[in-house]
Amino acid sequence: MRLAVIDKLGWIKRQKAKFAAQPRQSQREMVNGESHYFLGQRYRLRVHEADAPARVAVRGVASLDLFVRPHTTADQREAILLHW
């Protein structure tokens, strides 16, 4: 078994480097149209600004509605979504 791993060590290192070099998910801006994942499903974010408490709602099978107060920063929006 050990000889098999040693024999494939070069290939393993190349695959590991290739995997590490893959592009990752982009930084979220928390704006309309972004894709977000919840329970393994992809949802399109829809941001609604209203003078009411913040909340999150799943609408249908493809939309994630984020209700926030006007002038809420992207970091605050992300925190609301993560807390939910």
The pLDDT value given to residue 51: 95
Successive 10-residue mean pLDDT values, the chain, 84 residues: 84 91 82 93 96 95 96 95 93
pTM, rounded to two decimals: 0.69
In this structure, are residues 19 and 39 in contact, taking their beta carbons and an 8 Å threshold?
no
Of 58, 60, 55, 64, which Cα lies nearest the Cα of 28? 64
The pLDDT value given to residue 25: 72
In this structure, are residues 66 and 79 in contact, taking their beta carbons and an 8 Å threshold?
no
The pLDDT value given to residue 24: 73
